[in-house]
């Protein structure tokens, strides 16, 4: 099974549009939306839920009033200002779960309990199995949730005998991106031809290089700035990345999103043809 991860330096570059087309062309495959902070691939894949599981990804401190001797040490050492005095209590929304208060408490009065951080789901879509997740409001630990989601999606792919696992990653270079890199066969970076798009691309390419992963570049809306498109491609070549092609700026993208369909599914358009050609190139690379 080949794992294809689609990333971008920031949100809104067309990463999910590309992931949707790859999912359609790779069908029957397993697709996972690893952008758990702002999941949206389900909008165009319209999956039907088969299984939902709660995800407990962190711990919060609490004070056992029966043991507390009101020394105030926990309040002094808490850098998150989560502890209130008289009586000593901890605000779970401010608590980071670091444990410093527990190490310093002379009475063993601080306890920890697991908290619900999110939910992950496995569903069926018209292109195969779809796995997605959602963080609870204000919850962190998205990297751990992505790791859980990837494990479950991998199991589903093995069970279904799928040839491809398509992963719609998170934007940027943070924890959820790092968690999505393990075991991938190819990383596709979708970038726009702007100065900031080039800087975002380079930041991401450096991360992939550090991790020993080879990437591919797909330039979205290339025709809005041909000069910057050339610079992006030169930067990609400098990293030894493969060039998957250029995607035209096209109103068909918005029409497909409004129809909640993958690009090119309901009607052909230039951008759809460009992404389809990119998939053919990538597949040829994966089969080498
Ligand atoms: S676990 Fe850390 S953040 Fe939470 S109350 Fe204790 S010291 Fe503060
Ligand atoms: S350090 Fe322990 S005993 Fe002291 S106030 Fe905090 S919880 Fe109570």
Q: What is the pLDDT along the chain (288 residues), one digit of tens a residue?
A: 999 999 999 889 999 999 999 999 998 899 999 998 888 999 999 999 999 999 988 899 999 999 999 999 999 999 999 999 989 999 998 999 999 999 999 999 999 998 888 899 999 999 999 999 988 887 776 788 999 999 999 999 999 999 999 999 999 998 999 999 999 999 999 999 999 999 999 999 999 999 999 899 999 999 999 999 999 999 999 999 999 999 999 999 999 999 999 999 999 999 999 999 999 999 999 998
State the pLDDT at residue 141. 65
Q: What is the reported pLDDT for 167?
A: 97
Residue 71 phi, psi (nearest 5)? -80, -25
| CA neighbor of 216 nearest in space, from 199, 227, 231, 204 | 204
**CA 180 to CA 216: how far, in whole Å?**
16
For ligand 1, the distance from its centroid to the CA atom of residue 56, given in whole angstroms, is: 18
* Fold matches, 2-53+120-286 and 65-108: no
Beta-carbon contacts of 270 under 8 Å, excluding residues fewer than 6 positions away, are: 248, 250, 252
Predicted local confidence at residue 28, as pLDDT: 87
Centre of ligand 1 to C-alpha 98, Å, is 5
Spatial contact of 54 and 116, defined as CB atoms under 8 Å apart: yes
pLDDT attached to residue 214: 83
Short-list 181, 169, 234, 174, CA closest to 212: 181
Task: Note the ligand closest to the C-alpha atom of 108.
Answer: 2
Pocket test for ligand 1, best of 81, 97, 111 (most atoms within 8 A of CB): 97
Q: Does domain 2-53+120-286 have CATH number 3.30.160.60?
A: no
Q: Write out the E strands in 136-282.
A: 164-171, 186-191, 215-220, 242-247
Closest atom of ligand 1 relative to the 96 alpha carbon: 3
Domain ranges in the chain are 2-53+120-286, 65-108
With CA atoms as reference, report the closest residue to 96 among 123, 109, 77: 77
Whole-number Å distance, alpha carbon 102 to ligand 1 midpoint, is 8
For the segment(s) 65-108, the CATH number from 3.10.180.10, 3.30.2020.30, 3.40.50.300, 3.30.70.20 is 3.30.70.20
**Measured from the CB, is residue 96 less than 6 Å from ligand 1?**
yes
- CA 83 / ligand 2 centre spacing (Å): 10
Inter-axis angle of helices 15-26 and 270-286, nearest 10: 60
Is the shortest distance between the CB of 163 and ligand 2 below 6 Å?
A: no
Residue 132 confidence (pLDDT): 95
The b-or-e profile of 114-124 (16+ CB within 10 A means b, else e) is ebebbbbbbbe
Paired tokens of 244: 């998957």
Q: Is 88 helix (H, G, I), strand (E, B) or coil?
A: coil
Minimum-distance ligand 2 atom for the alpha carbon of 107? 3
Does any ligand 2 atom lie closer than 6 A to the CB of residue 69?
yes
- Check residue 29 and give its pLDDT: 93
Cβ burial of 272 (10 Å; 0-12, 13-18, 19+) is buried
Ligand 1 atom with the smallest distance to the CA of 77 is: 7
Query: If you take atom 8 of ligand 1, which residue's CA is the nearest one?
Result: 78
- Burial call 29-56: b when 16+ CB within 10 Å, e when fewer: bbbbbbbbbebebbebbebeeeeeeebe
Q: 89 CA to middle of ligand 2, Å?
A: 9
Q: Which atom of ligand 2 is nearest to the CA of 83?
A: 6
Measured CA to CA, the distance from residue 65 to residue 210 in angstroms comes to 49
Residue 139 pLDDT: 76
């Amino acid at each position: 099974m080949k794992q294809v991860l689609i990333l971008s330096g920031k949100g809104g570059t067309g990463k999910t549009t590309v992931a949707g087309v790859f999912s359609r062309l790779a069908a029957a495959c397993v697709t996972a939306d690893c952008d758990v902070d702002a999941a949206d691939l389900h909008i165009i894949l319209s999956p039907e839920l088969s299984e939902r599981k709660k995800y407990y990804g962190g711990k919060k401190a609490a004070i056992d009033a029966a043991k507390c001797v009101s020394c105030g040490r926990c309040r002094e050492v808490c850098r998150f200002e989560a502890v209130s005095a008289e009586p000593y209590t901890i605000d779970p929304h401010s608590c980071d779960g670091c444990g410093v208060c527990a190490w310093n408490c002379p009475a063993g009065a601080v306890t920890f309990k697991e908290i619900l951080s999110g939910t992950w789901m496995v569903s069926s879509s018209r292109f195969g199995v779809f796995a997605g997740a959602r963080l609870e409001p204000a919850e962190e630990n998205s990297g751990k949730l992505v790791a859980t989601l990837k494990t479950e999606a991998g199991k589903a792919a093995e069970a279904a005998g799928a040839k491809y696992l398509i992963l719609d990653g998170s934007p940027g270079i943070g924890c959820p991106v790092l968690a999505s890199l393990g075991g991938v066969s190819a990383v596709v970076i979708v970038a726009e031809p702007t100065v900031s798009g080039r800087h975002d691309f380079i930041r991401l390419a450096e991360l992939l290089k550090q991790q020993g992963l080879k990437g591919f570049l797909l330039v979205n809306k290339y025709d809005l700035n041909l000069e910057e498109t050339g610079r992006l491609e030169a930067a990609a070549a400098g990293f030894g990345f493969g060039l998957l092609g250029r995607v035209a700026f096209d109103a068909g993208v918005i029409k497909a999103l409004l129809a909640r369909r993958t690009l090119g599914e309901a009607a052909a358009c230039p951008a759809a043809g460009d992404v389809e050609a990119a998939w053919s190139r990538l597949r040829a690379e994966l089969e080498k």
